[in-house]
């Protein structure tokens, strides 16, 4: 018997041969191939959601919302079959500059989409205006497709 772990020293029925039966088993291979698209699609969906949250140009003003006093008076889920839309009624204690209202809208939306998938979000600031976060900035398009692709979402701000 030779020492050193050379392949020629392993017999025909040695441990290498037994292990190769498990790894290259046709049934194991077939099951792996069948689950691969499922795993891949889950990774793609996770990447779409996270990439939107990390995009600085969409949430460029989030840091400006630090210290801005506000209260969420009401939160309504406007669900229709498989579409999940949310309407927030926001109360601010005093009149704020538009940049602060935009920052506040971005902060609330960013916090919301980190927790749940939404087809559209509308924020009502009462007498100061509103903001929508929807596909192409259009609230009416928030039910166009079942799949949520945040890369197409934009803010629309209307202030009075």
pLDDT digits (tens, 9 = 90+) for 63-118: 999 999 999 999 999 887 788 999 999 999 889 999 999 999 999 999 999 999 99
Q: Which residues neighbour 4 within 8 Å (Cβ) at sequence distance 6 or greater? A: none
The pLDDT of residue 103 is 96
**Band of residue 158 on the pLDDT scale cut at 50, 70, 90:** very high
* Torsion angles phi and psi, residue 65, rounded to 5: -80, -5
- pLDDT of residue 52 exceeding 60: no
Output the pTM of the full model: 0.65
Sheet with 70-77, side-by-side order of all strands: 70-77, 85-92, 120-124, 129-135, 153-159
Give the pLDDT confidence of 9-30 residue by residue, as tens digits. Answer: 455 555 555 555 555 677 766 6
User: What CA–CA distance (Å, rounded) separates 113 from 149?
Assistant: 12
For the ranges 3-7, 28-32, 57-61, 103-107, the one whose mean pLDDT is highest: 103-107
- Tell me if 109 sits within 8 A of 134, measured CB to CB: no
Q: Quote the pLDDT of residue 132.
A: 96
Segment 34-42 mean pLDDT: 61
C-alpha 136/C-alpha 139 separation (Å) is 8
Q: Report the pLDDT value the prediction gives residue 9, as an integer from 0 to 100.
A: 47
Q: Is residue 124 a contact partner of residue 88, using CB atoms and an 8 Å limit?
A: yes
Dihedral through CA 41, CA 44, CA 50, CA 54, nearest 10?
A: -170
Q: Are the C-beta atoms of residues 157 and 128 closer than 8 Å to each other? A: no
């Amino acid at each position: 018997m030779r020492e050193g772990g050379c392949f020629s020293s392993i017999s025909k029925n040695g441990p290498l041969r037994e292990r190769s039966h498990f790894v290259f088993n046709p049934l194991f291979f077939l099951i792996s191939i069948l689950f691969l698209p499922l795993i891949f699609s889950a990774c793609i969906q996770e990447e779409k959601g996270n990439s939107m949250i990390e995009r600085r140009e969409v949430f460029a003003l989030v840091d400006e919302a630090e210290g801005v006093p506000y209260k969420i008076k009401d939160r309504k889920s406007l669900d229709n079959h498989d579409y999940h839309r949310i309407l927030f009624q926001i109360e601010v204690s005093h009149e704020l500059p538009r940049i602060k209202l935009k920052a506040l809208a971005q902060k609330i939306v960013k916090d919301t989409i980190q927790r749940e998938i939404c087809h559209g979000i509308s924020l009502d600031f009462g007498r100061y205006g509103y903001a929508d976060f929807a596909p192409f900035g259009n609230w009416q398009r928030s039910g166009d497709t079942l799949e949520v692709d945040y890369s197409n979402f934009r803010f629309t701000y209307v202030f009075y």
